[in-house]
Chains A and B, each alone.
Chain A
Amino acid sequence: MNLTLRTLFICALLAVCLRTAVAADSIPIGFHAPLTGFAAGDGKSALQGAQLAVQQINAAGGIKGRPLELVVEDDQARADQALPLANKMIGRGLRIVISGSYSAPTRAAAGVFQKAKVPYISAYGLHPDITKAGNYVFRVSFTGEVQGKAAAKFIGDNLKRHRVTLITLDNDFGQSLSAGFRDVASRFGLTIVSERTYAMGDRQFGSVVASVKHDDPEILYVSGYFFNGGPLVAQLRAGGVQAPIVGTEGFDTQDFIAIAKDAAEGVMITTSLDRDSQAPAMRHFIDDYQARYKVPANMVAAATDTAVTVAAEGLRRAGSDDTAKIRDAIAGIRDFDVATGRITFNSHGEVLKAAQIQVIRGGAFHHLATIDDPVLLAPPAN
């Protein structure tokens, strides 16, 4: 081999070694989200939220000087994709993994991570069974039932309305929200006039709108994501439905307002993000997200940001590679300030925190109320 070639070869070898050396110093955190497929919108938000958290943590010195590194996988929001991915991540020796995905893939993967004793944090997947997989599984968002209860209290106590129609998205998200709502409805003096359901793929709600006008409730409680909730709310208003609308965290994104436009004015949502918050961690997240991505923050991103922050905290407190220690460190988190509020874990890996009620005024989200009832919002403990 002539001199030039040999030099090039050595340089390449050095480069590879150095790269691996640098990589070896960082702490990898597993992360999976639906980057392709029907849920790609939420997947993108999820990834951005996680990347923001990593950037912020690394800018502040990382974990005892070592930077965090996200190891990202695409699960297309499918359980059968998530399973091999879970095994892949375990095979790579990842000490902690975050799910930035919907409930079904999270639930499937949870069992695998539990068996392998790798701590697993679900950012926004709300299926109750996720945390039932075992003590290595955590969730940093409300379960559906708890959110539904918060909404019921808000409608009964704060808004003082009584005749409600539920418009429920027919999936685990919507169904658990409605279940929670129904559970405590009578406690807050609410009568459920009717419940209308719709499917994930629906964008035209003509028959729902007609039915709601027929039912004539005082107020609507609507579950859904921005891509069905947006058209739904727009069509409700266009169809002449005047009743106030309370939505859920699925609407907590600027995309919802972009789609529903004028119809979004006055819509209230139960969520964990407060745009008007002065709490440092929440403010930090909201401002930095806007600055980095040039679009307003949303709930999915806030959830993954929180999950990464919690994971980093667990790694920091554990001070070691031992997954059992990391798990215990996370489980011991109390009154920890994150992008979605102040959280405390219970013995089943669920969080207790306040619920925020935001309202849309002038095309943006603003604070309306806070529901801070620890008994009502107690996460499931069975």
Chain B
Amino acid sequence: MYYGELLLVGLVWGCTYALMALGLTLVYGLLRILHVAQATVFTLGAYVGVLTATQFGSLTLACIAAALTAGLIGPLIYRFVYQPVLNQPPFVPLVASIGIVIAMEDGFRLIFGPYGKPFDHGATLSASYGVGGLNVSAIQALIVVIALALVVALNVLATRTRVGIAWRATVGDRAMAESFGIDVQWMRYLCFFIASVLAGIAGMLIGLLNGLVEPGMGGVVSYKGLAIIVLGGLGNVQGTLIASLLLGIVESFGGVYLGDYMDRDAIAFLCVIVVLLLRPHGLFGHSR
């Protein structure tokens, strides 16, 4: 079942991209900022996850620790880096964001060492199941399940809670939301909190999948995340989700069939160029 396996692999990649890209699109939707520094909280989540798991032996605890640490740092980045420059031209927060990514890659190397930390997923996650002729590993299943759960949770939050509705109002029309008494500042903190939690969990999951946590692991994922949110239509959550899954699958098959002509990473970016040439506002975007 060669194609089935490639499809599954692509789906799993797509799920991890989705977690990253969701955060990016949420931030963009609210603030028009390309939050490349997601990479930093992604990697931080991975390191916290691996250290907690090694120390306490519990992956659940590790996941919570990763999510909370990341969730704490994200809003801090907003407060100290983005907030002061909100009224500057868009390249300013973007360049600052890139600066954070570059600085922290070195930072992680200095704190945690250059060799990377092996991530032992323990006996339970080493299992694999045969599902209709396909070999599905426990980690792959876990990633899909967690991603699904998070997306559903986010959807419920956005549509059925007061906080969620307030947030959507703020995204739609800030001035109007403010006039209804919504604290825009808190909405922003919430936005970064959620985006960072997603990234931190994604980081830990990728660390598990790779078996290895490295200082530079966030970079390319974050840049691809940017490519994805452009493809999905900046600020469009559903578009982002679909684009993430599609990209994962394209990379999986493309790696095999286009591998002689280009790098796997380049595939994502080629898609961006091609799609933007045909639909300048992304696959699902709307002109402003």
Residues of A within 8 A of B (CB): 36, 38, 40-41, 43-44, 170, 196-199, 201-204, 206-211, 213-214, 227, 230-231, 234-235, 238-240, 255, 258-262
Select which of A206, A211, A231 is within 8 A of B13 by beta carbon.
Answer: A206
**Additional pairs, 10, CB under 8 Å, beyond known A206-B6, A207-B6:** A199-B265, A206-B13, A207-B256, A210-B9, A211-B256, A235-B211, A240-B128, A259-B118, A259-B212, A261-B118
Contacts of A230 in B (CB 8 A): 118, 211-212
Q: Write 16 A-B pairs (CB below 8 A) sorted by A numbering.
A: A41-B115, A196-B259, A199-B264, A203-B206, A203-B210, A204-B206, A206-B9, A206-B10, A207-B9, A207-B252, A207-B255, A230-B212, A240-B128, A240-B135, A259-B212, A261-B118
A-B contact count (CB 8 A): 93
Q: How far, in whole Å, are A259 and B213 apart by their CA atoms in the complex? A: 10
Q: Is the CB of B210 within 8 A of A238?
A: no
Which among A207, A239, A262 is the interface contact of B135 at CB below 8 angstroms? Answer: A239
Least distance between B272 CB and chain A CB atoms (Å) = 18
Q: CB distance B12 to A261 under 8 Å?
A: no
With the chains together, A126 CA to B116 CA distance in Å?
24
Beta-carbon nearest neighbor of A45 in chain B: B115
B230-258 interface mask toward A, CB cutoff 8 Å, 1 = contact, 0 = none? 00000000000000000000011101100
- The prevalent SS among residues of A at the interface is helix
A209 to B264, CA, bound (A): 15
Take A40-B109, A206-B12, A238-B128 as given contacts and tell me if A201 and B2 are in contact as well, using a CB distance cutoff of 8 Å.
no
**Interface check B179, CB cutoff 8 A:** no
B220 cross-chain contacts in A, Cβ below 8 A: 201
Q: Any chain A CB within 8 A of the CB of B183?
A: no
Distance in Å: Cβ of A99 to nearest Cβ of chain B: 18
- With a cutoff of 8 Å between Cβ atoms, the chain A residues found around residue B10 in the complex are 206-207
In the complex, chain B residues whose CB is within 8 Å of the CB of A197: 259
Complexed CA–CA distance, A196 and B114 (Å): 28
Q: Which of B115, B216, B255 contacts A38 (CB 8 A)?
A: B216
B212 near A207: Cβ-Cβ < 8 Å: no
B136 to chain A, nearest CB (A): 10
Complex contact A203–B217 (CB within 8 A): yes
Nearest residue in A to B248 (C-beta to C-beta)?
A206
A260-B211 contact in complex given A206-B13, A210-B9, C-beta closer than 8 Å: yes
As a 0/1 sequence over residues 124 to 138 of chain B, the CB contacts with chain A under 8 angstroms (1 = contact) are 001010000001010
Chain B: residues with Cβ within 8 Å of the partner, total of: 38
- Give Cα A199 to B259, complex, Å: 10
Task: Please list the 6 inter-chain residue pairs (A to B) with the smallest Cβ-Cβ separation, ordered nearest first.
Answer: A206-B9, A40-B114, A210-B5, A203-B210, A214-B2, A41-B114
For residue B275, CB closer than 8 A to chain A, the reply is no
**CB neighbours of A209 from chain B (8 A):** 5, 9
Of chain B, the residue at the smallest CB distance from A227 is: B116
Q: Is the CB of A201 within 8 A of B265?
A: yes
Q: Which residues of B contact A38 (CB under 8 A)?
A: 216
Measured between beta carbons, the chain A residues less than 8 angstroms from B206 are: 203-204
In angstroms, Cα B117 to Cα A41, docked, is 11
- The one of A199, A203, A255 that contacts B115, using a Cβ cutoff of 8 Å: A255
Q: Which residues of the partner chain A approach B251 to less than 8 Å between Cβ atoms?
A: 207
Q: How many Å from the CB of B280 to the closest CB on chain A?
A: 30
Residues from chain B with a CB closer than 8 A to the CB of A214 are: 2
Question: Are B252's CB and A206's CB within 8 A?
Answer: yes
Q: Which residues of A contact B211 (CB under 8 A)?
A: 230-231, 234-235, 259-261
With contact pairs A213-B2, A259-B211 given, residues A44 and B263 touching in the complex (Cβ less than 8 Å): no
Task: Give the interface centre of A206, A238, A260 by most chain B CB atoms within 10 Å.
Answer: A206
Once the chains bind, are A204 and B13 in contact (CB under 8 Å)?
yes
Query: Which chain A residues lie closer than 8 Å to B265 at the CB level?
Result: 199, 201
Q: Which of B9, B114, B137, B252 contacts A238 (CB 8 A)?
A: B137
